[in-house]
Amino acid sequence: MSCLKLPQLQQLSRPTAGAFASQRTLLSRAVAGQRLYSSGGLSSKAELNLPFDYNHSSFLYKNSAAAQKALSLPPSTKTSKLNLHNALNNALAHLLETNPRSALFGEDVAFGGVFRVTSGLLDRFGPDRVFNTPLTEQGIIGFGVGLAAAGHLALPEIQFADYMFPGYDQLHSEASTWRFRSGGADWCNSGQLIVRMPCGAVGHGAMYHSQSPEGVFSNLQGVRTIMPRSPAQAKGLLLAAAECGDPVIFMEPKILYRAVLEEVPVEAYKIPIDKAEIVKEGKDITIVSYGAMMYTVEQAALHAEEKLGVSVEIIDLRTLKPWDKETVTQSVNKTGRLVVVHESGKTGGLGEGISAEITERCFLRMESPVKRVTGWDTHMSLAFEKFTLPDVARVFHAIKSSIEYGA
């Protein structure tokens, strides 16, 4: 049998024009097809999912007075307008400057990191305290555990939360069990471990750059998990984490690094990491969320109040492990309804534990079952990333369903 020549092979492998047309027809039908409250042109609810500007959010401190009041700081406190990336850089610089036994390290950290959060810190503090590591998440966290145990403030960075899993054993078997194995000795009296990691969807990250694995950390006993929603929160929570006495996983929503601007106090300050924040008071329904989803929740709440005539209370957890049960309980006892919103999947997400706990605590006061609006239980798709995440329309629909339950 004679070999086919290259032009013949190319002809065999090339789809016909009709095949292309058929594929285009199928694709256009799929895209145009109606999805529940989608942003597609055929949906009557399209206006719910129009793009919104994070910086119009009432959750951000627009001036010095707002920051001073919210953070309980004196009127003389100076502020500077920073984005999340700048605020974290500012906080890390403060920790390195005030604690000579602190060290910042990870993949490309000396260069400034993928998102440039550590930019300029090598020049300021030198290669002995700001340095690169090999590409080994297990080694990065293991080294951090050892440094903290030896009395240092260890600040390892995992380049993306998606890469965390090779290092999970070091958190689970070493960091989380240290106090238990040592008979109650507080290893953090002399040292501390804060593992920073960018997390969440960014629009084009797919399976290896857009995951939200915070639910996986909920079973790490003795380890705190924190996720800020804004620049001022990021700085205050990171500085508080350095003194909390427990190993900390500090998750940074990467989509917010440069998307939000806020007045941030210039001097050091701390935000309590054991307390959720009621960012908006209401009386008819409670929504609990954290991180970047707070802005989606805010938009949905505004639509609900306008279209349904309800009063929505919104709570930012800030600390995900352990989460503030008392604040959420008091709110749900008042409103009688709860919606939990997060990017991570429904199965194994934080919403499971929150729903169970609040149902146990508030069952006799509740007007409807707890609703969860989460990422779908699937891998993050590159082409369909925005459809995998909770959107304004889905949160609005959950509010509406909860309000109308039993009617």
Residues belonging to the active site: 137, 209
Q: How far apart are CA 250 and CA 322, in angstroms?
A: 13
Distance CA 389, CA 386 (A): 6
- Alpha-carbon distance of 406 to 404, in angstroms, equals 6
What contacts 164, CB < 8 A, 6 or more positions away? 137, 158, 197, 213, 216
Q: Is the dihedral of CA 95, 96, 99, 105 positive or negative?
A: positive
DSSP 384: T
> What is the total residue count of the chain?
407
The Cα–Cα gap between 391 and 49 comes to 7
Residues ≥6 apart with Cβ < 8 Å to 262: 60, 61, 62, 67, 81, 82, 83, 87, 230, 231, 232
Q: Which of 337, 208, 219, 226 is nearest to 275 (CA)?
A: 226
3-state secondary structure of 139: helix
- By the 8 A CB rule, do 234 and 87 touch? yes
Amino acid identity for residue 306 in this structure: E
The Cα 241–Cα 193 span in angstroms is 9
